[in-house]
């Protein structure tokens, strides 16, 4: 078992329940996580490391995956370990109500509301984590481990990037999550 496979259990795991493709290059994926949490994930065809062809096409609805997600935050805020104290309760999710028109074979059958969830905070595990020769900030969120782009975070924090330490808390406004890699690749 590789180091990647051993660590996969700490990362976000979900059942792919919906896959939509735009322009044969951008995938909108929906994963069902534990506790009936629906997580929308964006993926471009060239993003998944180690894939052959279009990675979104390789993912199969109805299969479980361990995901390495790249969080794209807005208005990132940092609290050092001393400032955040016992703030593990802050590692929450935000649910957004997404309204869709439900259709059946006869046409429109009405409106449905789906709650989509997004992580909005993470405890820093490693402020300078390397993956595929890129630098990230590894965080523990309410749904598992994910990463933030190190350079973008430093820019957003306006000079506080050098202060980032393990145990500190990053909080952000909701934006989106991108699929960086499938960690187990098995889809079992």
Residue 15 within any structural domain of the chain: yes
Residues 10-56: pLDDT tens digits?
899 999 999 988 766 788 899 999 888 999 998 875 545 554 445 56
Residue 187 within any structural domain of the chain: no
Sign of the torsion angle spanned by Cα atoms 143, 45, 130, 136? negative
For the ranges 85-89, 94-98, 102-106, 121-125, the lowest mean pLDDT is seen at 85-89
CA atoms within 13 A on the CB side of 181: 16
Strands 64-79 vs 144-149: parallel, antiparallel or unpaired: parallel
Residue 188 within any structural domain of the chain: no
The boundaries of the domain holding residue 141 are: 3-182
Residue 112 within any structural domain of the chain: yes
Q: How far apart are CA 51 and CA 135, in angstroms?
A: 20
Residue 19 within any structural domain of the chain: yes
Number of domain units in the chain? 1
Confidence class of residue 187 from pLDDT cuts 50, 70 and 90? Answer: very low
Residues 53-80: pLDDT tens digits?
455 667 899 999 999 999 999 889 998 8
Residue 110 within any structural domain of the chain: yes
Residue 20 within any structural domain of the chain: yes
Q: Percent of the chain scored above 70 by pLDDT?
A: 72
Summary mean pLDDT of the chain? 79
Residues 6+ apart with CB under 8 A from 34: 13
Listing DSSP states for 36-105 in one string gives GEEEEEEEETTTSTT-SS-HHHH--TT-EEEEEEEEEEEEEEEE-HHHHTTGGGG--EEEEEEEEEEEET
Check residues 95 and 127 and name the one with the higher pLDDT: 127
Give the pLDDT score at 17. Answer: 93
Q: Which two tokens stand for residue 124?
A: 């820093």
């Amino acid at each position: 078992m590789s180091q990647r496979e051993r660590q996969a259990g700490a990362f976000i795991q979900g059942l792919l329940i919906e896959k939509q493709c735009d322009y044969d290059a951008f995938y909108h994926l929906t994963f069902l996580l534990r506790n009936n949490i629906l997580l929308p994930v964006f993926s471009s065809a060239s993003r998944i490391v180690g894939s052959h062809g279009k990675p979104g096409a390789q993912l199969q609805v109805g299969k479980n995956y361990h995901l390495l997600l790249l969080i794209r935050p807005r208005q990132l805020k940092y609290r050092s370990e001393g400032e955040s104290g016992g703030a593990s309760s802050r590692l929450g999710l935000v649910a957004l109500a997404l309204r869709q028109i439900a259709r059946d074979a006869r046409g429109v059958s009405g409106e449905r509301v789906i709650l989509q969830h997004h992580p909005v905070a993470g405890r820093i595990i490693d402020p300078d984590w390397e993956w595929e020769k890129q630098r990230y900030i590894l965080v523990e969120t309410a749904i598992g481990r994910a990463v933030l782009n190190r350079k973008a975070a430093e820019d957003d924090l306006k000079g506080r990037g050098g202060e980032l330490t393990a145990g500190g808390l990053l909080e952000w406004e909701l934006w989106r999550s991108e699929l960086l890699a499938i960690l187990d690749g098995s889809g079992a």
